[in-house]
Structures are given as C-alpha cells and as structure tokens.
Amino acid sequence: MKRIATIGLTGLSLLASFTLIAPTAGAAGTTIRSDSATGAAYSGNIKGTLISSTVRFASSAGNATCNRSTMTGSVRSDGTAASLSAASFSDSSATNGSCPNDQGGRTTITPATLPWSGGNVTYAPQAGGRDGTITLNNVSAKVDSSNWMGIRITCYFVGAGANNSVTGSVYNKDNANRPVTSVADAQASLSGASLRLTSGSSTCPSTATLTGAYKLLGEKQAGSGAFDQTLHITS
C-alpha cells in the first residue's frame, strides 16, 4: 500500500505542475509583452503545452510520469490576476487519462476547485538562468493510484507554499538557458515543485515533487482559442 500511496502523491505533483500559467501575489515592475521586449503589452488567455519528454512526479516511495499535458489560464500584462481554468495530464500508453507509475500500476490526476486564482508572474532575472518566476495559488488535486496488484488509493494534495501555492521559473524565447532550447517560445518550468497531503488513505505519502517544462503562448485574437502569440516577460 505504501508503494501505491507514493505513486498517488507523485501524480498529484503533476497537477500542481501547471502552475506555470497562473502565478501568485503582486508583480511589481513586470510587463508581459507580445513577441519581444518592445512589443505591445499582453493581457489575456495563455496556454501551456508540455515540451519536456515527460512530467515526472516523484516521492520517497515511487514515481509517475505523463507524456501529455496542457494548461489554460489568463493573466494581466502586469503579471497580476493570473488564473488557471483548465488542466489535463495523460499518457499515450492509455486512453483513460492515466499515467504509468513505477509500482506497476497507473496514476490519474484530477484538478480540484478550479479556477486556481490569485496568482502572478514576476520579472526576476538571474544571470545564467531564468527571466522571471511564476506562482500559482490555491493549487488542489485528487490523485488516484494503483499498483501491480490492483490495490488502489486516493490522495488529496495542495501546493506546499503559502496560500497552497507552487512556484516555477519563466524563460523568454531568446534565453539560451531555457529548458528546451529547440523550442523558440517562452517557457515555464517546475523543478522539484512541492505538494503536501491534506487527506486520503493512511498510506498516502505526505509530500511529493513535480518536474516538467511547458511552452507558453497567448492569442493574437482575443478569445479565438488559437494560441499563436509568442510572449516575452520584461520590466
């Protein structure tokens, strides 16, 4: 049971993962722009699409990986009022939305209490690293896991940061240190982002981490549903 529980936790991490598009707290000195550092300020919908080979969910007792994931939300041009309205996690090895875990079973992550609002994106460049940060508040997810024996558990997790948040890094499309250099788009990454257990089986793990990278795109025509606008974060 403990092995399964760990998987569940791992899966949960992923969900939080999508924090990429919906960050926390006020973002002073931040401007999200279209195309480049000199482009027009951008406010509107944003979509994150997985570009790392997988999103990896890990805990002390096991791991789960998904090779498909998207996140959709919105943000103001000053980085405030970020909100995540939809998130999905799945794997090409199944049609039911589940992802494989290293316990010989499957893990399914279901976002809870959407939208996750109250987030922000902040311009906070580091030499040889990111261009900004992204924090998502009120992250919550249900994680169902099974092991090779078919034993199942259900665990409920939230972001481990203040206000149940998760924080990641943001990179501009021209940053040589972006996670996936073959993709010329703004990117967001989570590296060991933490989640904590709030309820569930007594065998559920108490913590988990998430690691993955997403490309970020906006809409050239607001509300079109076509995510074809490149983005750039600056001061």
Which amino acid does the sequence have at 101?
N
Which amino acid does the sequence have at 132?
G
Q: pLDDT tens string for the chain (235 positions)?
A: 444 433 343 343 333 333 333 334 444 499 999 999 999 999 999 999 999 999 988 876 668 999 999 999 999 999 999 999 999 999 999 999 999 999 999 999 889 999 999 999 999 999 999 999 999 999 999 989 999 999 999 999 999 999 999 999 999 999 999 999 999 999 999 888 899 999 999 999 999 888 899 999 999 999 999 999 999 999 9
What DSSP line would sit under 110-146, residue for residue? Answer: EE-SS-EEEEEEEE---TTS-SEEEEE-S-EEEEEEE
Return the closest-CA partner of residue 9 out of 214, 203, 148. Answer: 203
Tokens encoding 57: 């969910």
Which amino acid does the sequence have at 135?
T
Other beta carbons within 10 Å of 70? 17
Would you call the peptide bond into 115 cis, given omega within 30 degrees of 0 as the criterion? yes
Rg (CA), the chain: 17
pTM: 0.87
